[in-house]
Amino acid sequence: MRFDWTIEEIETLFNLPFNDLMFQAQQCHRQYFDPNTVQRSTLLSIKTGGCPEDCKYCPQSSHYNTNVKSEVLMAKDAVVAAAQDAKARGATRFCIGAAWREPKGRAFEAVLAMVREIKLLDMEACATLGMLSQTQAQALKDAGLDYYNHNLDSAPEFYDGIISSRKYQDRLDTLKHVRNAAMNVCCGGIVGMGETRLHRAGLIAQLARMDPHPESVPINMLIRIEGTPLADVADFDLLEFVRTIAVSRITMPSSYVRLSAGRETMADEIQALCFLAGANSIFYGEKLLTANNQAEDADVRLFAKLGLQGEARTTPSSRRMTGELNA
């Protein structure tokens, strides 16, 4: 497995004939994963709106006039009930997200209590709460958190045009704190924000140079929200999205590559190509924080048509061992 990918090498992958790229991605995928199994996560917004950050894609930013209203932190019992429902519907990982720059005070203590309760359900627990100190990362680990999500969003060269309230290094520092606390990293980005293919290669290079690679790599397609600065950005080519999935799979072969935001608008055929390209994780349920997701019954029908099944709970270490044996 490599951790020294150059941007030029990754751009070369992007430029392969589509069939060759898909074949190479599928070969990598089968070395580490059952090709017909997809991990299902459910995402819940536990604190919606009012975020002080100015991310141009985000309807939860207090800088923009969207239909998202600022809400208080959800009660623990309501969060646990949502996790129980997600498990009953087939999710193996429950993710909680809060629209914060960073967690503070009693709110952070409340999140720790939520994580402890989710772990009692025998589910993987993931959180995205903004920037973390080393002390906060360790507290989440001690509470039982399995994964921490903190996306890079874009290549460093494109980042300043999307966000000014948080530096790229701030994101890298939070990821370092998560690793130091021995937690799994969930880290990916967003495509379709007006970036070039070279920028997409730069994003994947950042991720693929991490040693170890992020255990989960969510690839999000921009959801254009009225009131945000990116509401009128041009349509993104869906085959380019599939290419991004495939290149992520080739460069990070043992990571979960998650087909994330934007899936609601994708036809079955595009989603099937994404799975063929190496995507093996989805958000399952009709809401992604504040945006719509594919309806659950639509996912059930799609899985049946493609012969896919949900993944039983496993661990990154056991998957890597299996991959090494199968390679």
Pick the catalytic residue from 28, 95, 187, 274: 95
Does residue 258 carry a catalytic annotation?
yes
DSSP 49: S
Number of H helices, E strands in the chain: 12, 12
**Contact residues for 271 (Cβ-Cβ < 8 A; gap 6+):** 259, 263, 302
From the candidates 93, 200, 258, 263, which is the catalytic residue? 258
Burial (CB count <10 Å: 0-12, 13-18, 19+), residue 321: exposed
**28 catalytic per annotation:** no
Q: How far apart are CA 42 and CA 82, in angstroms?
A: 9
User: What pLDDT band is residue 310 in, cutting at 50, 70 and 90?
Assistant: confident
The per-residue pLDDT of the chain, averaged, comes to 89
Reply yes or no on whether 95 is catalytic.
Answer: yes
Residue 126 annotated to the active site: yes
Q: Do residues 131 and 174 lie in contact, with contact meaning Cβ atoms separated by under 8 Å?
A: yes
Q: How is residue 231 written in tokens? A: 């509401």
CA distance 201 to 16: 13
Please confirm, yes or no, whether 58 is among the known catalytic residues. yes
Whole-angstrom distance, CA of residue 27 vs CA of residue 310: 21
Task: State the SS3 of 92-159.
Answer: CEEEEEECCCCCCHHHHHHHHHHHHHHHCCCCEEEEECCCCCHHHHHHHHHHCCCEEECCCECCHHHH
Residues 145-179: pLDDT tens digits?
999 999 999 999 999 999 998 899 999 999 999 99
What is the C-alpha separation between 220 and 77, in angstroms, rounded? 30
- For 45-75, write each residue's pLDDT tens digit: 899 888 888 888 988 888 888 878 878 899 9
- Which one of the listed residues 186, 187, 249, 274 is annotated catalytic? 186
% of the chain surpassing 70 pLDDT:
92
The reported pLDDT for the residue numbered 285 is 56
Which residue in 28, 40, 93, 126 is the catalytic one?
A: 126
